[in-house]
Amino acid sequence: MEKLLRINMSAEGGPEVNVIPIGEYAGLGGRALTSAVISKEVPPLAHPLSEDNKLVIAPGMLSGSIAAMSGRISVGCKSPLTGGIKEANSGGQPSQVLARLGYAAIILEGKPKDGDLYKVFINKDGVKITPDNSLKMLGNYDVVEKMKGEYGDKIACISIGPAGEMKMSAASIAFTDMELRPTRHAGRGGVGAVMGAKGVKVIVLDDKGMASRAPKDPGKFKAANKAFVEGLKKHPVTGEALPAYGTNVLANIINEAGGYPTNNFLWGRFPGVSKISGETEAETEVARGGVATHGCHRGCTIQCSGIYMDKDGHYLTKQPEYETVWAHGANCGIDDLDAIAMLDRLDDDYGLDTIEMGATIGVAMEAGLAKFGDAQAAIGLIKEVGKGTPLGRILGNGAAVTGKVFGVERVPVVKGQALPAYDPRSVQGMGVTYATSTMGADHTAGYAVTANVLKVGGFVDPLKAEGQIELSRNLQIATAAIDATGMCLFIAFAVLDQPETFQALLDLLNSFYGLKLTGDDVTALGKKILIMERDFNKRAGFTNQQDRLPEFFKKELLPPHNVVFQVTDEDLDKVYNW
């Protein structure tokens, strides 16, 4: 991964390919690389859909190696949804394949002067870009099928659906999974709209003839990987709960805690939760001949995904994960797993962020466009988006736009991005992360529960009054660092409880690159990423006024615990004081 692939879509005579050494970005991967490029090269006041914005697609530092769990890929740009910097990441096969082809990143620049839609093919022999207008407005599933027909089934694809072509702010970028289906998405922030603005429909990757990336010290690397995998397998979350039930195992306990947002964040409990929980979902999948334990990319040992079949036993979609089931389920009052799975399938095909779309439909239901609990109406609304009707265009631009158009006061967004599946009034520390993340409301921004191992910024006493601010800060720093490695965030649970597993992660990085990183270095990397992102947002016009939750979280009591968000603005402003 010593080279960058820059594609200038504005060039005279058609797109221009430049393969250049990685240069000043050497040593960076994943989110560290995407945020460094965007922060340095994109004018912060540029329109997100303009030729001045860039789309950076970067595998993690360990992607392409045999390290377990190293298949995450980061997508960076200035976000059309938030107006700030964005890093959205995804699983799937492309991260490993792109890294094996030797690219630290693909950077799409400029904007085509014609109205053509392009496909990009990358293999060991080089890069080929061709216009292919037959792909226009195809769903992701059809695009991938066409690419299979042209290039065979040993490829990996990065594509957008109609939502991306229509430059909707909720548009995602799809990454194919092990079965060559477009089920993994860099969902958040409208990254698909930026790819659409660049005029690129699909990037096809073929790593035939390329070997796995070789570590500097193969012996130590192999030993570290073995210890790392053992640590994941022996931990009850990464070794048992996630493989058995996937992330949606959270539904029941978040509901029990009264923090499961229901009917557009009106209540904290959903009466139909047992019908859509991870436990029920897994039993349903198995009973129908699907799979309840499955990885999203080769080398995944946690296997938190699955394959969801319809009532007749035919493939419908991958296992909808916790955020998706909540967004299209409880948040819209829907307790029908099959309908939720259909919504997930449609989102994947049109290329839409499931969280944003679930939140948007919740807002639309509050506006009276449909009744809470009406699954068929929800499916109908998503189809409007896919067709690009005037209503669909509004919905496809997310919850904030929809709320504004239909005059809804209760719109659950921060920096224009919809809140994920935890009510911040119930778990207030999560609210701090939602409010202050550089990305807009984002549950993964403070996900890597490694802070007590890293002791980022000194050991925090979680029982102190200011503990929530410090915990959120430390979680955000640790998460930014893990996002740079290309490691799945779910490794964090094993790292949290098992210091030897955290050491194994460090050993993987050190033996691969010939480094001597310590926990402090990882902390420094996380801080560096956040500083870059925060600086970009500041130059884009963000102030501390954007680091706030919507007013209704401070005013409306959330049943059943009847609490409001109590963290003060003054405390929120302390998160980035380090």
Partner 1 sequence: MTVKSQLVPFFFPILQKGFAQKIQVGCSIKELLSDRFGLSAEYIENRIQTIFLDGKPVDDMDTAIVRDGTTLALSSAMPGVLGATLRRGGYYSRMRSQITHVEKAELPRRTDGQIIVKLFNLTIRELGPMFLERGIWVDADDLREFFRNQSHELGEGCVEATVDGSNVDMGKIPSWDFTAKRVYLQLQTA
List contacts with partner 1 (CB under 8 A): 235-238, 240-242, 244-245, 247, 249-250, 252-254, 256-259, 269, 273-275, 277, 279-280, 283, 287, 304, 322, 422, 425-430, 443, 446-449, 452, 462-464, 467-468, 471-472, 475, 490, 493, 496, 560-561, 563, 566
21 vs 559, beta carbon nearer partner 1: 559
Q: Smallest gap, in angstroms, from Cβ of residue 233 to partner 1?
A: 14
| DSSP string for residues in 498-554 | -HHHHHHHHHHHHHHHT----HHHHHHHHHHHHHHHHHHHHHTT--GGGS---THHH
Angle in degrees, CA 269, 271, 275, rounded to 5: 115
Q: Smallest gap, in angstroms, from Cβ of residue 271 to partner 1?
A: 9
Q: Smallest gap, in angstroms, from Cβ of residue 497 to partner 1?
A: 9
Structure tokens at 257: 């805690």
Q: Smallest gap, in angstroms, from Cβ of residue 561 to partner 1?
A: 5
Beta-carbon contacts of 184 under 8 Å, excluding residues fewer than 6 positions away, are 90, 91, 92, 174, 175, 176, 177, 296, 297, 318
89 vs 511, beta carbon nearer partner 1: 89
Torsion, Cα 77 81 84 90, to 10 degrees, reads: -40
Amino acid letter for position 104: A
Q: Smallest gap, in angstroms, from Cβ of residue 273 to partner 1?
A: 8
Q: Smallest gap, in angstroms, from Cβ of residue 466 to partner 1?
A: 10
Beta-carbon contacts of 115 under 8 Å, excluding residues fewer than 6 positions away, are none
518 vs 562, beta carbon nearer partner 1: 562
Interatomic CA distance for residues 188 and 41, integer angstroms: 21
470 vs 547, beta carbon nearer partner 1: 470
Strand partners, 305: 294
**With contact defined as beta carbons under 8 Å apart, do 281 and 248 qualify?**
yes
97 vs 449, beta carbon nearer partner 1: 449
15 vs 446, beta carbon nearer partner 1: 446
Q: If you count them, how many residues does the chain have?
A: 578
Nearest to 407 by CA among 363, 359, 361: 363
Q: Smallest gap, in angstroms, from Cβ of residue 480 to partner 1?
A: 14
Beta-carbon contacts of 106 under 8 Å, excluding residues fewer than 6 positions away, are 4, 5, 7, 56, 57, 58, 98, 120, 122, 203
252 vs 523, beta carbon nearer partner 1: 252
Nearest to 239 by CA among 68, 493, 566: 493
160 vs 448, beta carbon nearer partner 1: 448
215 vs 259, beta carbon nearer partner 1: 259
Q: Smallest gap, in angstroms, from Cβ of residue 474 to partner 1?
A: 10
Q: Smallest gap, in angstroms, from Cβ of residue 197 to partner 1?
A: 33
Q: Smallest gap, in angstroms, from Cβ of residue 552 to partner 1?
A: 17
97 vs 471, beta carbon nearer partner 1: 471
Q: Is the peptide bond before 390 cis (omega within 30 degrees of 0)?
A: no
Interatomic CA distance for residues 509 and 515, integer angstroms: 7
Nearest to 522 by CA among 535, 509, 539, 540: 509
Q: Smallest gap, in angstroms, from Cβ of residue 134 to partner 1?
A: 42
Q: Smallest gap, in angstroms, from Cβ of residue 288 to partner 1?
A: 11
**With contact defined as beta carbons under 8 Å apart, do 88 and 188 qualify?**
yes
3 vs 554, beta carbon nearer partner 1: 554
Query: Helices 30-41 and 519-539, interaxial angle, to 10°?
Result: 30
Q: Smallest gap, in angstroms, from Cβ of residue 431 to partner 1?
A: 9
**With contact defined as beta carbons under 8 Å apart, do 523 and 448 qualify?**
no
190 vs 420, beta carbon nearer partner 1: 420
Strands 73-78 and 85-90: antiparallel
389 vs 566, beta carbon nearer partner 1: 566
> Could you tell me where the beta strands, DSSP code E, fall in 32-148?
55-59, 73-78, 85-90, 103-109, 118-123, 126-131
CA distances from residue 555 to 425, 433, 499 in whole angstroms, order as listed: 10, 19, 41
292 vs 508, beta carbon nearer partner 1: 292
Number of C-beta neighbours around residue 248 at 10 A: 27
Interatomic CA distance for residues 87 and 437, integer angstroms: 11
Nearest to 512 by CA among 222, 98, 93: 222
Q: Smallest gap, in angstroms, from Cβ of residue 278 to partner 1?
A: 8
Beta-carbon contacts of 367 under 8 Å, excluding residues fewer than 6 positions away, are 402, 403, 406, 407, 408
